[in-house]
Amino acid sequence: MKKNVFFGLYLIIGLLLVLPFVLPNSFYLDLVIRMAINAVIVLGLNLLIGFAGQISLGHAGFLGIGAYASAVLPTHFGWHPLLAMGAGAAVTGLLAALVARPIFKLKGHYLAMATLGLGIIINIALRNEAQWTGGPDGMPVPAMGLFGFELSSDKHWYWAVALLLSVSVWASLNLIDSPFGRALRALHGSEVAAQVVGVDVVRYKVAIFVLSAVFASLMGSVTAHYGGFVTPNLADFFHSIELVTMVVIGGMASVYGSVIGAVLLTAMPQALATFEGWETVAFGSILMLSMIFMPKGLVPTLAAKFGKGE
């Protein structure tokens, strides 16, 4: 049954090991770091959207909670960054669980609207609580340190993020091919079938929603520490949409698709910079065309074409 599903993971690890030695300058290193951070977020989101068949249009909001927890708590209250990161994730998890219970009794459009609303509320809160968050201008984030070792240079960040990405891909691959993961995919395929074999459908939907939200929050903290500065744009609606687009372009229900989607969409604005004022148009056209010709997303389409399933 299995062609080796981990082949792609080895490829990713291999690439991550080689890249820092072949990239010409720190601009590219920075780009790869941002790609990897996005890839981890998209992996979590794809578990929710692609595998479990649920939608979140407010994921950037969770990112925002994590990022601002890492900015506000150490700055104003002197918390250790790791503690702040954990607190952000805990609050996000709690909030996601609280909101998810009632909305997962709903389906389809309601869920989209509810998560959309949640994301917008978080964003507004971040913009308006200026005495804590710096408002629309954002605020600086203290450096992340651990046992007296400070994550400061790009190289440090690169290896930390590379490790994070590799572990996330590995864990995602494990998860989808487990009883938990099969239950998720089953409730996507047929909710009533999942129920009659004993899957507590609402509980699983809540669990995966919370998991992907916590993932987003943690990576929000990472983004904040890496950038050294956060603005509410990180948490806005357009960023949520961008994340969903990464899932869809790369391929729903595809672990490697998540990585490819994140890599492509993070790189695209750079690649399209030559179009100057027209880059959004070019960006939009590429998205439309890929949806028309590859509605299942890049990786599943190519996998089907070359006859090997993921």
Partner 1 sequence: MALLDVSQLSIHFGGVKAVQNVSFSIDAGIVYSVIGPNGAGKTTLFNLITGVYTPTSGEIRLDDESIGGKSPNQLATRGVARTFQNLQICMNMSARENVMVGAHLRLDRNLIKAALRFPGLKRRDAEMCEEAAELMRFVGLEKYIEARADSMPYGALKRLEIARALAMKPRLLFLDEPAAGLNPRETIEVDHLVRKVADAGITVVLVEHDMKMVMNLSDRILVLDYGKKLAEGTGEEVRKNPDVIAAYLGAHA
166 lies in the site for partner 1, by CB under 8 A: no
Segment lying near partner 1 (by CB under 8 A), choices 102-110, 125-133, 154-162, 171-179: 171-179
Token pair recorded at residue 242:
């961008």
211 lies in the site for partner 1, by CB under 8 A: yes
Query: 229 pairs with which residues across the strands?
Result: 140
196 lies in the site for partner 1, by CB under 8 A: yes
Tokens 């978080």, located at residue:
122
State phi, psi for 55 to the nearest 5 degrees: -130, 145
**Residue 158 to residue 155: CA distance in whole angstroms:** 5
190 lies in the site for partner 1, by CB under 8 A: yes
Find the shortest distance in angstroms from Cβ 95 to partner 1.
19
Find the shortest distance in angstroms from Cβ 173 to partner 1.
9
The single residue among 31, 91, 113, 201 that binds partner 1, judged by CB under 8 A, is: 201
Find the shortest distance in angstroms from Cβ 107 to partner 1.
16
- Which residues are within 8 A (CB) of 194 and not within 5 positions of it... i.e. 6 or more apart? 183, 186, 187, 201, 204
Query: 150 pairs with which residues across the strands?
Result: 145
State phi, psi for 201 to the nearest 5 degrees: -60, -45
178 lies in the site for partner 1, by CB under 8 A: yes
Question: Cβ closer to partner 1: 134 or 181?
Answer: 181
Question: Cβ closer to partner 1: 67 or 89?
Answer: 89
**Residue 200 to residue 205: CA distance in whole angstroms:** 9
Q: Are the CB atoms for 172 and 103 separated by under 8 Å? A: no
- Which residues are within 8 A (CB) of 138 and not within 5 positions of it... i.e. 6 or more apart? 229, 230, 231, 232, 233
The single residue among 106, 171, 271, 281 that binds partner 1, judged by CB under 8 A, is: 171
Question: Cβ closer to partner 1: 22 or 196?
Answer: 196
290 lies in the site for partner 1, by CB under 8 A: no
Which residues of this chain interact with partner 1, rule CB under 8 A? 1, 170-172, 174-175, 177-183, 185-186, 188-190, 192-201, 207, 211, 253, 309
